[in-house]
Structure formats: C-alpha cells, structure tokens
Structure 1
Amino acid sequence: MIKSIKDVIGYIGEIYNSRQLLFNLTSKELKLKYRNSVLGFLWSFLNPILMLFVYTFAFKLIMRQATPNFTVFLLCGLLPWNFFAAGVMGSTTSIIGNANLIKKVYFPREIIPLSIIFSNFVNFVITLLILFVAVIVSGLHIGLPLVMLPVVLLLILGFTVGLSLILSSLNVLYRDISHLVEVIFNLWMYLTPVVYPLTLLNNHAVFKRLIMLNPMTLVVECMRSILYTDTFPYYLYILALIIIDFVLIFFGFRLFRKIEVVFAEEI
C-alpha cells in the first residue's frame, strides 16, 4: 500500500514537471470553447444565467417552490453541478479525442483529461461572480464561513479529477462508457439537491439517506452553508469528501496508468 501511494505521488510529480504543457493545453481548451462565437467568453456568464431563468420559471413560478432567496439557493447547486458534469463528461472522451497527440510524443497522459477539467474549473470560478452578485442583491450576509469556500472548491475539483481519470481510461477499452455517462448524469442531477432543498425529503427518510450518499449532495450542501445560510459546512461532510477524493484520486491514477500501456493500440 505504501509503495502504491509513493507511485501515485510520483505520477503527480511527473504532471507537475510537465505543468507548462498542462497550462498550454488548458489555455487551448479555454480558447477553443468559444472560438468563432460572437459573444465569446461572455457565454461563461450567459449559460448559467439562462439556466437560472429556466429553473426559476419552472420551479418557482410553476411548481411554486417556496424556498426564500431562490436565486442564491439555486446557483449554489447549479454552478458546482455544471462544472462537475462538464468536467467529467468532457474528460471521459478526451483520450480518444486526442489519439494523434498520444501516438506522436510521450508526456503524462493524465494531462489530457486534466486540461479539460481545469479549463472548466476556470469557468466555474469566474461564474461564481454571478453567485456573489446574487448574494449581495438578495441582502444575504457573507461572513467568516467564506474562508471555507476555497476548501470546498478544491474538494469538488479533487472529486472531478478522480472520477474523470477512472472514466477516461475505461472509455478507451469500453466505448460504451461515454454513452453510459450521459445517461447517468441526466439522472444524477435529480439525485442531487440542485433545484430542491433536502428538507423536502424529511418525510422520506430512506430516500434521503440514499441522497446523502451522493458526494455531490455534500458539495452542494457545503456551498449553501457558506453562501446561503452563512454557516460553516458540517465537518463530517468535509471529512467525507476528503476521504472520497483521496480514494478516487488514488485508484484513478493507478487504473489510468495500468490501462495507459494499451492506449496507442486501442485508439
């Protein structure tokens, strides 16, 4: 086990030594995303704002969602979910999509899915400006719990990285993975309290316990603690996310390196 941990640390060291390549590929992903688009980078703000209008209309006006300050409540769930979904789904097909690059030159292959994730993470951090504006407009207080926001952001980043390493490598061997991921994510969002409060499930104890096993539920609840209720996230949520991140990143790197030896043959 100790040797395996040292191996993973070594893999991370290789990536760090190739950080300039990671930076360049991340920058390339950011530029390509909105290339030939009239509004360009403004879509980073317009996408969540348009989704906010749609969900507000559906859940606040039609379904009569009674949650106060619904805009802030929704953004606390919607923005991290958008990053997570875009990061994982984009990185799942990234190895196959960069077959020519992989066959030409050696570099740590993890850089390819990581560049997808980091480019989406940059977008995510920028769109948090919308959330802060919504908090101010709603008159909500931002206090000392804000110091925990970087911790939560790193935890969702770690969760995304670990899961993406697993899925992107498996997708090289089993192309059905990418199709399965699309189906699962359609369901996963509604198993995460993005558009509804957890209190809605108070009369469904078994289902609520199942929802709490979802790591993204813990992320969303931590975000709402910090920016919606101005309280520190429940320490067990943070601890659980740290453990989940460690396990996923550990096994993600191990599995990725194990399958990496057949990348050139399979793609």
Structure 2
Amino acid sequence: MINHRFFANFKKYRFLLFELIKKNLTVKYKDSVLGVLWSLINPALSSLVLAFVFGFFFANSIENFVIYVLIGYITYHFFASATKGAMNSIRGGASILKKIYVPKYIYPLSITLTEIVNYLISMIVLAIFMIVTACPFSIYNLLAILPIILLCFFAFGCGLILASIYVFFRDIKYLYNVFTQLLMYGSAIFYDISTRVPDQYKMFFNLNPVYCAISNFRDTILYAKFPNLYLLEYQAITALIVVVVGLIVFYKTQNKFILHL
C-alpha cells in the first residue's frame, strides 16, 4: 500500500526537480551550435523524411499527409523518449543517490516532465506546418489536450515500472528498444488502419494506448471533431492502472536500488 510519505517530500525537493528538468533540456544539445532549437528541428526533419519515404505508398489515400505523419511521429516519439529516459533515470542518478537522500521518484518524474516540455515545443512545429499546408484551425483543436494528458500519465506509469526493472535487470534496455521499434509500426504513424488493416486486426490497434492518443489527436486537428469517447475512456483506464501499478512497483523496490547501483 502506497502511503502519503511517497509524495510528502515533493514540496521540499521541488527545486531539485526543476533543476533536473533544466539540466535534461540543456545537456542533450549542449555541444551543438543550435542548442535547444534542435527540439524544433528534429521532429520537423524526422516527419518530413517519413512523409517523403512513405508518401509514395500512402499519401494519395490520406488527406494532408505531412500533418498526419507529424502528429503520429511527435506523439510516438514523446512516449518512446519519456519511457526510455525514465528507465535509465535511477541508474543515471546513482552518483547522487549513493551519497544523499533524495526521493527517488523525482528522477523518472523529471524525465517525463522534460519530454512533456519537448512535446509542447513540437506543437509549435505542428502549428507552423498547419499554416504552411493550409490545414484549417478550429475550436476542436483545443480538445487535443485530452488524449495528450492521458498519454503523459500513461508514459509516467510505464517509466516507473521500467526504471524499477532496469535497476535489477539490465537486459530490459535492449528488449525495450526492440519493443519501441515494433510500437512505431504498430501505432499507424504513416498509414491509415481504416484502409490498410483488415477488420479482424483493427481491435489490436485500439488496445494500444499510444495509437489511441494519436488517433484522437488527429481527430481534433485534422478532422475537426470531438475525440472518440471509447478511445478516451480506454486511455483513462489504462493510464490509471499503469500509474497505480507503477507507483506500487517503484515504492516496493526503491529501498533495494542502492544495492544494485
């Protein structure tokens, strides 16, 4: 049972959390000339490459293919980056954790929040591309926040579980890299399941919370309509379950971390 002490030190250590987020945002591109501008350039270039490569196969059947791919890519990339970063966060903070007491959940939380910031920066790229491609803005665009928030909680829960496992089982890193590659192709980033996937297999996409977030994101941006309530409910349920399980697993194992770092 998780008690209130798990969160009790949050206020006391919030300065450390903000410093970790700041460090995470700056250290990634510290030796580059453009610095944090790469947070804008990376999703734009990656999406353009995907749109160019797969455009020959799918562009004719998908309206505004560039925006379609961009939404899928930045959403998938957020989840993959947040969970991979959180997985390595405890081991990455070993030098501090071995010396002083710090609430250990601060580390995976800081990674998740850092990637949320990067995700929000990617929204600037999305807005620019919408203007360039003449994709109309609508009031429904604001509803994109719903699947995004649910995905953020889901990513945090997954990050807690992965961080706990990685301390004891290093091979999970390589297994998870393979999984995220499969996830990219299973999240319909550059194709439409309504025309490319047989009906009997579509249910498997709807069981993928990342795809659910991407699909609802596209509904609000590309198609100017309310998100699919079934997918939202499924996202909410899976996010709640994964966060609770993640907190329990992390809380039950955190006292043993120091023995394996």
TM-score (ref. length: structure 1): 0.92
Distance 2:116 2:52 in 1: 27
Q: Which residue in the other structure is 1:92 paired with?
A: 87
1:110 paired with 2:105, answer yes
Q: Shift of residue 147 of structure 1?
A: 2.8
Q: Shift of residue 141 of structure 1?
A: 2.5
* Cα displacement string for residues 45-104 of structure 1 (whole angstroms, at most 9, x for unaligned residues): 11112112211221113x253212111111111111111111111111111122111111
SS at match of 2:10: helix
Distance 2:229 2:196 in 1: 22
Shift in CA distance, 194/12, structure 1 to aligned 2, threshold 3 Å: farther
Q: Which residue in the other structure is 2:67 paired with?
A: 72
Does structure 1 retain, via aligned residues, the 8 Å contact 2:166–2:173?
Answer: yes
Does structure 1 retain, via aligned residues, the 8 Å contact 2:58–2:191?
Answer: no
205, 213, 235: which one aligns with 2:229: 235
Q: Which residue in the other structure is 2:134 paired with?
A: 139
Same amino acid, percent of matched pairs: 30
Q: Shift of residue 16 of structure 1?
A: 4.4
Q: Which residue in the other structure is 2:244 paired with?
A: 250
* Cα displacement string for residues 136-168 of structure 1 (whole angstroms, at most 9, x for unaligned residues): 222222222223222222111101100000001
SS at match of 1:158: helix
Q: Shift of residue 178 of structure 1?
A: 1.0
Q: Which residue in the other structure is 2:29 paired with?
A: 34
* Cα displacement string for residues 182-240 of structure 1 (whole angstroms, at most 9, x for unaligned residues): 111111110111111121345x1222111211111100001101111111101111111
Distance 1:17 1:222 in 2: 37
Letter in 1 for 2:41: L
Q: Shift of residue 107 of structure 1?
A: 1.8
Does structure 1 retain, via aligned residues, the 8 Å contact 2:75–2:119?
Answer: yes
Distance 1:129 1:9 in 2: 38
Shift in CA distance, 229/18, structure 1 to aligned 2, threshold 3 Å: same
Q: Which residue in the other structure is 2:148 paired with?
A: 153
Shift in CA distance, 220/64, structure 1 to aligned 2, threshold 3 Å: closer
Q: Which residue in the other structure is 1:188 paired with?
A: 183
Distance 2:164 2:11 in 1: 20
Shift in CA distance, 129/170, structure 1 to aligned 2, threshold 3 Å: same
Q: Which residue in the other structure is 2:161 paired with?
A: 166
- Give RMSD over aligned pairs: 1.5
Distance 2:73 2:208 in 1: 15
Q: Which residue in the other structure is 2:203 paired with?
A: 209
Q: Shift of residue 8 of structure 1?
A: 5.8
TM-score (ref. length: structure 2): 0.94
Distance 1:264 1:56 in 2: 45
Q: Please list every run of 5 or more consecutive structure 1 residues that lacks an aligned counterpart in the other structure.
A: none
Distance 2:183 2:195 in 1: 17
Letter in 2 for 1:249: V
Q: Please list every run of 5 or more consecutive structure 2 residues that lacks an aligned counterpart in the other structure.
A: none
Distance 2:222 2:58 in 1: 20
Aligned residues between the structures: 260
SS at match of 2:116: helix
Distance 1:154 1:16 in 2: 22
Shift in CA distance, 198/237, structure 1 to aligned 2, threshold 3 Å: same
Does structure 2 retain, via aligned residues, the 8 Å contact 1:8–1:250?
Answer: no
Distance 1:18 1:226 in 2: 37
Shift in CA distance, 111/80, structure 1 to aligned 2, threshold 3 Å: same
